[in-house]
Copies of this chain bind each other. A is one copy, B any other.
């Protein structure tokens, strides 16, 4: 790459011809239409993907070697290439200079003939595209997780999952809000918002870690996933309610009821309807003759449910998860799982690197006095976030010998959902700068700490039965 880059640099730097690249120069001059910046945007997206894949694999391989989950490596790789450190990528949220100071844009300016005047528009487009690709990545991830889940087992752990979810939402919310008001004198509405940001578990990170340590189908794993799914629904409801409260000053009961009922009807309804329709689906796929018939039919199903999940104010990932659950019950499960695997390999790292890259860890820097207040509140929020979720394991009933600590730890990471709270709070201008920073720190630490702890607590029974997983730790 460097060899070719040097070779490329030649004509740009030394050429006596003023317009080496007539087409791009014309594009900037003749018209400002998007169609004309199209090739530069595509080049920028390709460059961003190369950066993302390099970050994900370099740090992911490093983590695999020191026995940390590769997904943590992808997050750290994201932080390294992101806004906190190298600033290689652009996002829709890029604040400073509209993202034009990012490496990707600078590199496009020096190699692809991008003009500084066109740079902000191109940066915005690239950021938007990478953002949507990362969201398609998490949709595919949840689809894959659904496909690998056992619905019967999930229903069997339903009551346990429900109690874990409800406690895991209520305890951090109450303790966080009360503590912020009582200990730090934060006004009521910001305190409630920050408390709400403590509620939602990141199903993506936990599920990936569980899959990596082969605990996804264990009873603990199924309770964690079930609770995280319910938690996600509860978290979105809390977010909608709190945002509504912050804006109007009153909680709309009809809206809360609509959201709760909608979520329940959506998830149960799509699973029941899917079970009813899946024999027809299999028969249809069997009669199709063109390439990719199973994959495309399944993606249509997953994307329709994801779309419905998104527009009824729940989450797109919830719909994709439901679609995976339904298709896991069909005879095509094995074949489909094999086909989804490479697609997940391609798209899921984009999501984890982007989550890491968007997070500004410079608010962690204790040397800057402006960060002090945020750091103390962050410490409080982190403690509440970890304890508030860890206690949920104690609430599991009727399961003697179950690893309660593992369930509690599995609920700790907040990840993308916590970042959604921070983003909405920021745009609503509810949160003070230190409180916003504290929420971000809480999200980072719970997300970064949970995976190694999760591996640790799941390792314990293994030392007792070393025959079960002899390849583990290689």
Contact = CB atoms under 8 A, between A and B. Distances in A.
Contacts of A1: 304
A393 B180 CA distance: 79
Given A23-B240, A38-B131, A43-B316, A64 B290 contact: yes
B39 A300 contact: no
B39 A310 contact: yes
A24 interface: yes
A129 interface: yes
A247 interface: yes
Given A53-B300, A427-B31, A11 B45 contact: no
B296 A35 contact: no
Nearest to A291: B345
Nearest to A43: B310
Nearest to A308: B4
Interface centre among A49, A342, A427 (most CB of B within 10 A): A342
A50 interface: yes
A438 interface: no
Nearest to A345: B292
A42 B270 CA distance: 21
Interface residues of A, number: 106
A158 interface: no
Most buried by B among A8, A132, A136, A423: A132
Contacts of A183: none
A299 B133 CA distance: 15
B8 A311 contact: yes
Interface string A5-47: 0011001000111011111101000110111101101110111
B34 A92 contact: yes
A254 B17 contact: yes
B345 A295 contact: yes
A432 interface: no
Interface in A305-321: 306-308, 310-313, 316
A34 B140 CA distance: 23
B288 A61 contact: yes
B295 A424 contact: no
Contacts of A424: 23
Interface of A: 1, 3-4, 7-8, 11, 15-17, 19-24, 26, 30-31, 33-36, 38-39, 41-43, 45-47, 49-50, 53-54, 56-57, 60-61, 64-65, 70, 73, 92-93, 108, 111-113, 124-125, 127-129, 131-132, 135-136, 139, 239-240, 243-244, 247, 252, 254-255, 258, 262, 265, 269-270, 273, 288-293, 295-297, 299-300, 303-304, 306-308, 310-313, 316, 339-346, 349, 423-424, 427-428
26 contacts: A4-B270, A7-B265, A7-B269, A17-B258, A20-B258, A22-B255, A23-B243, A34-B124, A35-B92, A35-B427, A38-B131, A43-B311, A43-B316, A45-B132, A46-B310, A46-B316, A47-B307, A53-B296, A53-B299, A57-B293, A57-B297, A60-B290, A73-B290, A112-B310, A296-B345, A341-B342
Given A47-B307, A292-B349, 8 more contacts: A4-B270, A22-B243, A23-B244, A33-B92, A43-B307, A295-B346, A339-B342, A341-B342
The 8 closest A-B pairs by CB, nearest first: A292-B345, A34-B92, A22-B244, A339-B342, A112-B311, A43-B310, A70-B290, A46-B307
